Structures are given as structure tokens and as C-alpha cells.
Amino acid sequence: MLVSQSVLRNFTKNIFLAMGCSIEHATLAADVLLQADLRGIDSHGVARLVGYVRLWESKRINANPNITIVHETPTTATVDGDAGLGLVVAPFAMRLAIQKAEQYGSGWVSVRNSNHFGIAGYHSLLAVEKDMIGFAMTNASPLVAPTYSNERLLGTNPMCYAFPAGKYPPVVVDMATSAAANGKLEIAQRAGKPVPEGWIQDAEGNYTTDPHALKSGGSLLPLGGDKEHGSHKGFGLSATVDILSAVLSGANYGPWVPPFVAFLQPPADPVGLGIGHFVGAMRVDGFRPIDEFKAHLDNWISRFKSAQTVDPDQKVIIPGEPELEAEADRKVNGIPLVDAVVEDLNGLAEKFGIAPLAP
Amino acid sequence: MLVSQSVLRNFTKNIFLAMGCSIEHATLAADVLLQADLRGIDSHGVARLVGYVRLWESKRINANPNITIVHETPTTATVDGDAGLGLVVAPFAMRLAIQKAEQYGSGWVSVRNSNHFGIAGYHSLLAVEKDMIGFAMTNASPLVAPTYSNERLLGTNPMCYAFPAGKYPPVVVDMATSAAANGKLEIAQRAGKPVPEGWIQDAEGNYTTDPHALKSGGSLLPLGGDKEHGSHKGFGLSATVDILSAVLSGANYGPWVPPFVAFLQPPADPVGLGIGHFVGAMRVDGFRPIDEFKAHLDNWISRFKSAQTVDPDQKVIIPGEPELEAEADRKVNGIPLVDAVVEDLNGLAEKFGIAPLAP
């Protein structure tokens, strides 16, 4: 089904309102999810809505959080999300980072007691709108084994860096630190297709191309796949995300991160509160006049876009470009939803007594 | 040859003094190189000394730089290295970042007009000594092709994150953003051995296992190797390093970065000054009391060290551990130098009229 973004946005907002979110939080949370759907990152958009509702039903998401700053200096802070939606807690943290950057040049906020924050790019781009460089990362439910291990100890722990350009759109590096994000695995599962070697291993630690291997004790592999191809680097990046997001804020880390799914209980021996994020903003003009920076970043983009390629029909892709192409298309033509997602959403509509989705 | 660190340190300092460096700069530059040799990162230690001397001879390294702050806010700054050794320019920048962090919680410095800065870990660890989190990255001579391209447009552009622990040594993630660093290629070249698929491609963009392929127009591949295994992520990380280090500071970026070797001329149409670095420091206690952080990081390390492994004899390696093991060994047993390096070093000794290296 193709649904216009305004219809889907309104529907999503109504679900959050029905959960008891304030109008401000419901609008913001819907905006974060819709940006994922618009940008083509379907695994992080409204497809997750039913997951948020289930966590709220099992009292693991607080629809009316009292988000507080528990510690701060002029340019750093720790925020407690009061078990709220990461979709509203992370923008709170990023606005705080931006305020600090406006005054002192940079601002950095580590967040505890939060939940899944949607796409990292949304939060980083809040800084880019202010001519700042945006950083956003989060830890997540453990699915990834460190190099040499077959134990799931880390999430897909994404990191995102976003930079404002001039005539070109922003450069947005937004990536899971695993070889493949879980969303890609789900696509292969639905399609009944094998995945490439180097994405996952089975319970014994052998490479497998079975996209269902996670269900039988397998694990995702860090970016790099194996040691010879640099998986210790993917592990190191994932560790960095975990430490900045959770060891620094007082959230749960490693295997203690609570699972995103309501049917799995969080570990009985938590080492912190909820999941953790880390966001930051730096004023570009804290280093160099913004126009000079943008002119040089445009030159950088232009040089890479015109790079010689192995296949002349396949150009080099600037980080963030595919998402912008999806957005341009979907704003006009609507957002495609697979049947299973439409079914989930209309199940929610029925639960809350609101009108179902129509194309 | 095995050389004690004190002998090698003194020898190295004397070479820098002979180039005309001040005693302070010569001592510091020797310390940065020796830390690489002690920590087992042989490609970034005294093996590079002859390269620095050649660049100085061709007037591309200034032995007496007037390092200046050209722009700043309370927590950000741009430093001009005056074409000095990166080995002294980067510690200047990191000390500035640390000062800012002491006052405001965090400090971030982008550097232009510099040269090769040795190992990133050295600079990050300066922050760790002050109970801060240290960040260091640098761009470098173009050897890496972005995803889909067979043109060398990026350096191996390392990024480093370092965190102070309690009873354990610091966690130090220090990694090239390419699948393999150039140093690993050099080892295979010397040994006459093939390299794994996924490290390099030939001039036409085909995977090759020939470690000499760079000499015939080949290029290194970004971390991930190919698109299917996430090379767009390695490219994105490398782009992040390039933008923060050079587009932000006013250094050269992408294919304009001057080559480290004196026999290759820098591009005739520079887009900035020298090469660029980016360093930062954040006070841990800007987020959370330092003792709490260290206790939880110890718990993190301890959990990952005891992770179940595929091969029970192969434990999970905490980032930074192999370097510490090398350091413990080499401090006692001396630093092993291959014949070619001893020859290079004694060639320098002869050139400058100082005593040659003896075991």
C-alpha cells in the first residue's frame, strides 16, 4: 500500500496520543518515525510503532516522561530520559547540546534511561539546521558478537556524523557498526533469500547465509566480518558507541541493554537505567567561517561525485544521497508499506479505536 | 637487531636535533615515535624517521614551526602547524583541547598545515592521563578508493577514541578506516606473501592478493571491502575524518593531501595548507563522577574479556590490549628493528655525523 506522508504522519501521531503522550511529544515522535520512512529506512519508521506500543503496554516505555538534566558543565551534560520514548528524549538531548554549542562552541550530552531513538540521522540533522556539525549514536539490544566470540554482547550500535554543505545537501554518515543492520536481515527473511557470508554466524560461530540464524542462537558480525578483514575495527567502533552512550551516562551496556521486543524480559541484574545515547553539536564557525567551510565541502562532494568508477554507470555515492533520493520520491509518490506493516498498524488502530489506514 | 628503548630514543632525538628542531620539539617528536615502536606499531615508529628527514630536506617540513591558534571559541579552535612535524603540532593541539576541557568540560581542535602525526593513540592518551576521553584523527596521503571507484581519493585516515579505566589499562580504539593499514601491506611485501582478498584492488578495480598492486595503480579498499560487506561505511568513516581534519581546518583534503614521500610532489593546485588533524578531549566528570565511570568501564572490560569464544584458546581482545602487551615486552627486552630500518637509521647517522646505532 502507498500512503501519503501526511496521512501516515497523522495516523502515527494519533497512536502516540492514544498512548497518552502530550501533543508535543506525539507530534515529535511521529516526525522522527516519518523521517525514517521518507528517507527509505523502512526498518526504523512506522514498522516499529507496534513495538513501541507493546513496550508501553508492558510498562517499559513511559508515555509522560519527566526528562531531566542530572549533571552538567558549560558544554557537557547527562540527561535522564525517565524511561520515555527515545524519539522524544534524544531530540531533548540534542537541543541541549545545540544550546551549549551556541554559547560555548560545542555541546555534548550523554543520555540514560531512554528507549530506541529511531534513526540517528534525525537527531544529527537538528544540528546541521543550525550550521553545526551533528553527532548521534545509541546502544541497542545485544545481537552482535565481538571478534572471536559467539556471544551476543553488543547492539548494532549506530554512529552518525552530519555536516552542512552549501549548494549540495548535507553529508550524513549514518551507519550501524555491524557488517549489516538488522533491517537488511529482515528484508532477506521476508524474501526467503540467503544473506552474504560475513554478515552472521550460527550459534557455534560458523559463517552462515541463513537469515534466520539469529533465532537459533546465532549472532550478527561486526563491520569487517572477520579478524582478517578488520572485524576488530567494527567491534572497536561498537564499543566506542556503547561506552559513550551508556558507561558515560549510567545506562545499561553490553549484554545488559534491555531488548527492544516486549516478549523478552530485560536482564534481572541491570548495571544502569534503560538504554543510552550520545549526541553532540559543534558550531562550524567555531573553527572557520561557515561560507568557507560550505564552499570547501561542496568542492569535496563535487570531486568525489565525479570520481572515476570501476563500472562507468555506477557513480560514487555521497553519504546521505540515497536517503535524499528516497525522500524526494516518497514526498511526492507516498510511502510504500508492506502488508504485514499495514496489518500491524490497523491492529493498533482497532486497539485504540481510531480510523484504520486507507491508501 | 634488538635496541633498548633508551638508546633508540636518544638516537631519534639526536636526529631531530640535527634537523634543527628545538630540544623540546626533538624530545617530544622522539617520544611520539618511540611510543609507536614500544606499542608494536612498527610502521609508525622510527621506521618513518628517514621519511621525515627527506621531507625536511625537500623543505616540506619546517623544523622550527611557529604553531599558532588562528581562530577560537571557549571550546573550539583551529591551529596552524606552520608546516611543522605533526609529531609536535598534534600534541600542541591536544594540550589546547585539554585546557579548554579543564575550563568548560570539552575542547576540540582542528589542525591545518601539519604533517604526518605518528600514531593517533599517543595524542588521545594525553587526554586519558587527565581522566578525560581523548579523540584523535588525521587525514593522510591518498591510497584508498571510495566504494565503486578505482581512484585513490582518501588516506587510510585513522580515528582513535581512548577511555580511562580503573584497575584495567585504558580502552584505546585506534584504527585505520581502510580494510587494512598500509603497514600490514608492507609486512606482506617484505615477506613476499599474498594478502587476503578484500584489502586491495588493482588499477581496473578487481580484487587482488598482490601486495605490490599499489605500485601499478591499485588502491586500498575501505573497511568492509565491498558494498555488500559495508565498504560504504568504511568510506563514510574516512570521509568523516577528512572533513573534520581538513575541510574544517583549511588543510588539503581528498586527493589534494600531499604525499608523505618526498619523491612524489604535492598537487600543484592545493585546496588548503598541508595535511589536517582533529583532536578532542572531554572531562569524564562533566558527565558522571570519574570513580563511577571507571568502575563501570572495568565491569564492561571484565565482561567482554570473559566472553564465550568460538575457539576456547582465543579470548576476546579489548581494544588497546595488544599494544600494551607489546609495550610490556619491549620495555624489558628492547625494540626489534629489521635490517632495512637499521640501514636507513645508520644512513641518517652518517649524514648528520652522529654515532650509529649499536645493539
Residue ranges covered by each domain of chain A: 1-64+330-359, 66-179+221-291
Residue B358 has pLDDT above 80, yes or no: no
B89-133 pLDDT, tens digit each: 999 999 999 999 999 999 999 999 999 999 999 999 999 999 999
Q: What's residue A301's pLDDT?
A: 98
ipTM, interface predicted TM-score of the complex? 0.98
Q: What's residue B338's pLDDT?
A: 92
Q: What's residue B187's pLDDT?
A: 83
Nearest to B170 by CA among B162, B159, B181, B178: B162
C-alpha cell at A137: 549514536
B contacts of A230 (beta carbons < 8 Å): 175, 179-180, 223
CATH placement of domain B1-64+333-359: 1.10.1530.10
Give the whole-number percent of chain A exceeding pLDDT 90.
Answer: 94
Q: What's residue A286's pLDDT?
A: 98
CA–CA min distance A138, chain B (Å): 16
C-alpha cell at B46: 622510527
Nearest to B261 by CA among B159, B115, B148, B117: B115
Of A105, A177, A236, the CB nearest to B74: A105
pTM: 0.98
DSSP letter assigned to residue B49: H
The mean of the pLDDT values for chain A is 96
**Is B204 in contact with A310 (Cβ distance < 8 A)?**
yes
Of B196, B228, B240, the CB nearest to A161: B240
User: How buried is residue B204: exposed, middle or buried, by Cβ count under 10 Å (0-12/13-18/19+)?
Assistant: exposed
A170-199 pLDDT, tens digit each: 999 999 999 998 888 888 888 889 999 999
Q: What's residue A358's pLDDT?
A: 77
- Cα–Cα distances (Å) from B159 to A113, A239, A281, B260, in that order, read 29, 14, 19, 18
Q: What's residue A252's pLDDT?
A: 98
DSSP letter assigned to residue B286: G
Compare all CA atoms of chain A with the CA of B290 and give the residue at the minimum distance.
A248
C-alpha cell at B132: 578525560
The mean of the pLDDT values for chain B is 96
**Is B76 in contact with A283 (Cβ distance < 8 A)?**
yes
For chain A, say whether B316 makes contact (Cβ under 8 Å): yes
Residue A359 — pLDDT band, cuts 50, 70, 90? low
Cβ-contact A141, A155 below 8 angstroms: yes
A103-154 pLDDT, tens digit each: 999 999 999 999 999 999 999 999 999 999 999 999 999 999 999 999 999 9
C-alpha cell at A34: 516519518
Which range, of A162-176, A185-199, B317-331, averages the lowest pLDDT?
A: A185-199
Of B232, B249, B311, the CB nearest to A287: B249
Query: Residue B332 — φ and ψ, nearest 5°?
Result: -85, -50
Q: What's residue B182's pLDDT?
A: 83
Question: What is the interface size between A and B, counted as CB pairs within 8 Å?
Answer: 259
Question: Looking at this protein, which amino acid is placed at residue B210?
Answer: D
Q: Can you tell me the distance from the alpha carbon of B179 to that of B33, in angstroms, rounded to the nearest whole number? A: 24
C-alpha cell at B98: 585539554
C-alpha cell at B192: 613476499
For residues B39-54, give the mean pLDDT. 94
CA–CA min distance A270, chain B (Å): 12
For residues A72-92, give the mean pLDDT. 98
A contacts of B74 (beta carbons < 8 Å): 74-75, 104-105
Q: What's residue B229's pLDDT?
A: 94
CATH placement of domain A66-179+221-291: 3.30.1370.60
For chain B, say whether A96 makes contact (Cβ under 8 Å): no
CATH placement of domain B181-218: 3.30.60.50
A1-64+330-359 is classed in which CATH architecture? Orthogonal Bundle (1.10)
Alpha helices per DSSP H over chain B: 5-19, 23-38, 49-57, 86-104, 120-128, 182-191, 231-242, 290-305, 321-333, 339-352
b/e map A312-328, b = 16+ CB within 10 Å:
eeeebbbbbbebbebbe
Of A106, A149, A223, the CB nearest to B108: A106
Cβ-contact A257, A246 below 8 angstroms: yes
CA–CA min distance B259, chain A (Å): 18
Q: How many CB atoms lie within 10 A of CB B133?
A: 28
B157-167 pLDDT, tens digit each: 999 999 999 99
Residues 6+ apart with CB under 8 A from A122: A31, A32, A35, A36, A90, A91
For residues B57-64, give the mean pLDDT. 97
B contacts of A187 (beta carbons < 8 Å): none
Give the whole-number percent of chain B exceeding pLDDT 90.
Answer: 94
B contacts of A237 (beta carbons < 8 Å): 173, 175, 237
A286-323 pLDDT, tens digit each: 999 999 999 999 999 999 999 999 999 999 999 999 99
For chain A, say whether B200 makes contact (Cβ under 8 Å): no
Of A171, A177, A196, the CB nearest to B239: A171
Residue B190 — pLDDT band, cuts 50, 70, 90? confident
Per CATH, which fold does B65-179+221-319 belong to?
Ribosomal Protein S8; Chain: A, domain 1 (3.30.1370)
Q: Can you tell me the distance from the alpha carbon of A181 to that of B234, in angstroms, rounded to the nearest whole number? A: 15
Q: What's residue B170's pLDDT?
A: 98
Q: What's residue A152's pLDDT?
A: 97
For residues A49-72, give the mean pLDDT. 97
A28-38 pLDDT, tens digit each: 999 999 999 99
Q: What's residue B359's pLDDT?
A: 62
CA–CA min distance B114, chain A (Å): 16
For residues A216-245, give the mean pLDDT. 96
